[in-house]
Chain A
């Protein structure tokens, strides 16, 4: 297959390596080194897309990231990726891409009717028309979204690998064009750690396609020598194919590197997100060319002049065979001259300026190219490809039609200031360049080259050397030995008149595009300004200019200039909309990196996890922990399993893995005093060897955490915390010790992970354990602790039970936990021991009325509200004391903890069910709101009670005990009776032990 638009020689492509690819189902060939865009153009394919709103035929416009039109759907199935710029896709063998936003086909698109009826679709049309009436929006939205869709997100899991890499450097250089290379070189020669990131496959920037000589050789020879030196420097890291997308605080820079074309190995990541922390940054991000605004300026075959030159010189592709060049400066002549040298016919150069007397225009004339000055394009023809332009002098006069198949437009250059602006740097309008350039920096960042509107090569090189050296010096490094600037010969260029670029034809009724991707026209900007949206941020939202996935890289400059015109102000006075990360979309997969699947969130497992798993436990998440929730036997439901586990504990013996409980070791001469202040309970009076239930409050008097305080020795305590509260409590203790009471000699050490803990509960627990323990556990009083051996393992033995009734907890070093568990299970066989999970534990404790922090409390519940005020000592200082002393803390109508019994003993209310005074349903309440008096915090079926039980927080709940309230459900109402919050035995055993 031939590539009709490929030159015979030249370009940075490997003509021996032919690559096959498909676009919209048709097969083509390109060469290694091509992008998808250059390969399509080599095959004379310009039409690549339909526009977003009007579905107008669009072609490839640009050379790189600024491309607004040629967004394609890359690959298929699980590998597919939407909205990828064809100009940035490195061609590989077997590539498959499809055009987007067309239906049914690119050449015939029903949505193009939007274009025909476009006088009905002005800026703000959707806002004005479809938001009313509100109820209809949902219906309109579906149709609008189908018409206005971009690419399609993949529906299958992403099969590729992605990762993330942190990197640190002295000097990060963004962009490997002439300025970036010289910056990297001078920084590297100073001995700095340098990272050089560039989005292209090879370094060089504009030197990849501009025909300059450096030091008497083609510029790419200089690029090669610099790259060789950088590659050999031990402290330099070169990141090719790496697009810097975000510049955040404290010189934190995020870049995305592609490895995807073609995939070299199944092990290699497809993309890598770099998180770079740089002491100094040099931005050599270059510039993009500005389009010209004229009627029907969006036909396929109308391209940026620099891009046309780039496709020719870098890829050996002539984008047309008869070319009109429209320019506002000398730069357009480079394209004319390069094309002419390649044998392409130049129909004319249209110079919008009145005078074109510089070196390049002279060269063009000397080659016999017709140069028309002071003229502009007033119309274009050709449906799927431009076929002619009509030109007319600004002064008026005859309109002349020129046949062509390519229009190369050059409206001057727009510095790529996005990253500088993201770094909070201020932008400054450079009147000479007619564009915003970096002004005052707010972070350690420097700019060099065309991002500063330094258009000349020797300026870019000099600025790069200076910026790189200064950055290294700012890192405290000696400046490099005198660097010799390479010698460059380049023609003097006369100034471009960029104000001509956006001028357009005010009288024309044809569309004149300003933002190609968002389909915003010159008329839209005028309309928005007339309707009062004449601040740049308002205009942006009203017209959607700059809100496409390209963020208006190309279009914003003309939008701002047009708005200034509409307001009758000088360009640059109305500011620029803020640039926010990312510079270019980054895929979710790259952002997620490895944090997917089992690595999405860490899972914490107890030492006995494997036993639970192999014995059929169903796990539940408790923070990051996996806890055994229940252990169903064959055919057992959750309910049946939990009822059985509960009864085993009440009548025989059960065993719970309590290892996830937070544990904190407290030592020091002032440990007792410290804990006295931390807990609302008395601690100093606790005798060594004894334990006490403790409540921690926040300074506002509300319950923060609870657990057991065990006094191991005079100056040594062990606290338990809730599973979820372990880290929080440890941090809380450290905060008070370090910031308020540093004089207290106390050391806190979290030891949650050091111990496996097993709760052995039930009437047979003592018979099971006694023979295995080295201490006489029958002699242990309730709420006490002893140190000894259990089954030969050094252990702490606690006599206490969260389930209520007789029970022990055994703590052993975590590496012996599995052994302890299996030994106890074995020894328990003759007692018909049952492992029980967290669900049974919840039922058992609720029967006793024991609270769970986070279930019965939510940060607004005090110990008084919980009926635990008898624990609170008023004769000492503790955190929360002052707040509890407020009259409000004892207000009678606060929500208080009570028990609930449903009228029907088999009715188990859902936790969170609300309670009201009079019978009603949720449907009724929706129509006629009634005051909510409280809600259910815990609710279970209790096998010991043979009925449902619930705990609730109810306004003035204690005073209402014995009364009835109502729980409205969707279609019915449940009557409940308030009781004391305990259903089995005496709840005081743990609390008072």
Chain B
């Protein structure tokens, strides 16, 4: 079971959180203008990397806030936690 540091409440057990999938998938401003294929791309297609993944979590049983996490999907190591709405976290050893 993971221990996730909510940016507000601090480290809590994974059972308190909900998972929200890949982060930084922007809602298209002009959805009406998009082709069906482009809309489907936005709606359904997500990256599924082996390694570092920027993803959304929500502290369901705590402060109820959504936030972003950079997690390694193979080691479960968490590299960064940052507020929803912030730009993607850059890690020091990662190309920008």
Contact = CB atoms under 8 A, between A and B. Distances in A.
Is there any pair of Cβ atoms, one from A and one from B, under 8 angstroms apart in the complex?
yes
Interface of A: 248-252, 277, 424, 442, 699-700, 731, 734-735, 738-740, 742, 877, 881-883, 885-887
B52 interface: no
B80 interface: no
3 pairs of A and B residues whose beta carbons are closest in the complex: A882-B31, A250-B3, A249-B76
Given A249-B2, A738-B84, A740-B27, 14 more contacts: A249-B76, A252-B1, A734-B64, A734-B66, A735-B20, A735-B58, A738-B65, A738-B85, A881-B31, A882-B31, A882-B34, A883-B39, A885-B32, A886-B39
A490 to B, nearest CB: 40
Interface of B: 1-3, 13, 18, 20, 27, 31-32, 34, 36, 39, 43, 56, 58, 60, 64-66, 75-76, 84-85
Contacts of A735: 20, 58, 66
A739 B66 contact: yes
Contacts of B1: 248-250, 252
Contact of B75 (A251, A424, A731, A740): A424
Nearest to B18: A731
A738 B76 CA distance: 26
A738 B64 CA distance: 10
Contacts of A739: 56, 66, 84-85
B34 A742 contact: no
B32 A882 contact: yes
B31 A252 contact: no
A700 B13 CA distance: 32
A887 B37 CA distance: 12
B43 A883 contact: yes
A439 to B, nearest CB: 15
A957 B69 CA distance: 46
Nearest to A698: B43
A277 B4 CA distance: 12
Contacts of A250: 1-3, 76
A738 B13 CA distance: 22
B68 to A, nearest CB: 9
B58 to A, nearest CB: 7
A738 B85 CA distance: 8
Nearest to A166: B13
9 contacts: A249-B2, A252-B1, A700-B43, A734-B66, A735-B66, A739-B56, A742-B84, A877-B31, A882-B34
Interface centre among A250, A252, A442 (most CB of B within 10 A): A250
A887 B39 CA distance: 13
A534 to B, nearest CB: 27
A699 B43 contact: yes
Contacts of B32: 882, 885
A738 B34 CA distance: 25
B36 A886 contact: yes
A881 B43 CA distance: 13
A885 B38 CA distance: 13
A91 B28 CA distance: 70
Contacts of A887: 36
A277 B1 CA distance: 10
A738 B66 CA distance: 7
B85 A882 contact: no
A812 to B, nearest CB: 27
Q: Which of A734, A739, A886, A887 has the most CB of B within 10 A?
A: A739
Nearest to B39: A882
A18 to B, nearest CB: 46
A442 B66 contact: no
Contacts of A885: 32
A442 B75 CA distance: 8
A123 B84 CA distance: 57
B65 to A, nearest CB: 7
Contacts of B2: 249-250
A424 B77 CA distance: 12
A252 B31 CA distance: 44
Nearest to A699: B43
Given A735-B66, A738-B65, A277 B3 contact: yes
Contacts of B60: 731
Contacts of B43: 699-700, 883
A344 to B, nearest CB: 50
Nearest to B64: A734
A942 B41 CA distance: 46
A348 B57 CA distance: 67
Nearest to B74: A424
Contacts of A740: 27
Contacts of A731: 18, 58, 60, 64
Contacts of B75: 424, 442
A595 to B, nearest CB: 13
Contacts of B27: 740
B51 to A, nearest CB: 14
Contacts of B34: 882
Nearest to B30: A882
A519 B27 CA distance: 60
| Most B-side CB within 10 Å, residue of A248, A700, A734, A738 | A738
A738 B57 CA distance: 12
Contact of B3 (A252, A700, A883, A886): A252
Contacts of B58: 731, 734-735
Nearest to A251: B3
A731 B20 CA distance: 11
Contacts of A248: 1
A249 to B, nearest CB: 4
B83 to A, nearest CB: 10
B62 to A, nearest CB: 12
Contacts of B76: 249-250
Contacts of A881: 31
A424 B75 CA distance: 8
A823 B83 CA distance: 50
A742 B32 CA distance: 22
A250 B2 CA distance: 6
A252 B3 CA distance: 8
Contacts of A742: 84-85
A252 B65 CA distance: 24
Contacts of B85: 738-739, 742
Nearest to B76: A249
A883 B18 CA distance: 25
A885 B56 CA distance: 28
Name, among A251, A877, A882, A883, the residue most crowded by chain B CB atoms within 10 Å (CB to CB): A882
Contacts of B20: 735
A245 to B, nearest CB: 15
A250 B36 CA distance: 42
B28 to A, nearest CB: 8
Contacts of A442: 75
A750 to B, nearest CB: 10
Contacts of A738: 65-66, 84-85
A172 to B, nearest CB: 14
B45 to A, nearest CB: 13
A675 to B, nearest CB: 17
A252 B64 CA distance: 24
A886 B75 CA distance: 41
Nearest to B84: A739
A142 to B, nearest CB: 39
B47 to A, nearest CB: 18
Nearest to A734: B64
A887 B36 CA distance: 9
B85 to A, nearest CB: 6
Nearest to B68: A739
A886 to B, nearest CB: 5
Nearest to B85: A742
A252 B2 CA distance: 8
A886 B31 CA distance: 12
A700 B60 CA distance: 24
A602 B90 CA distance: 42
A171 B3 CA distance: 16
Contacts of A877: 31
Contacts of B39: 882-883, 886
A248 B14 CA distance: 12
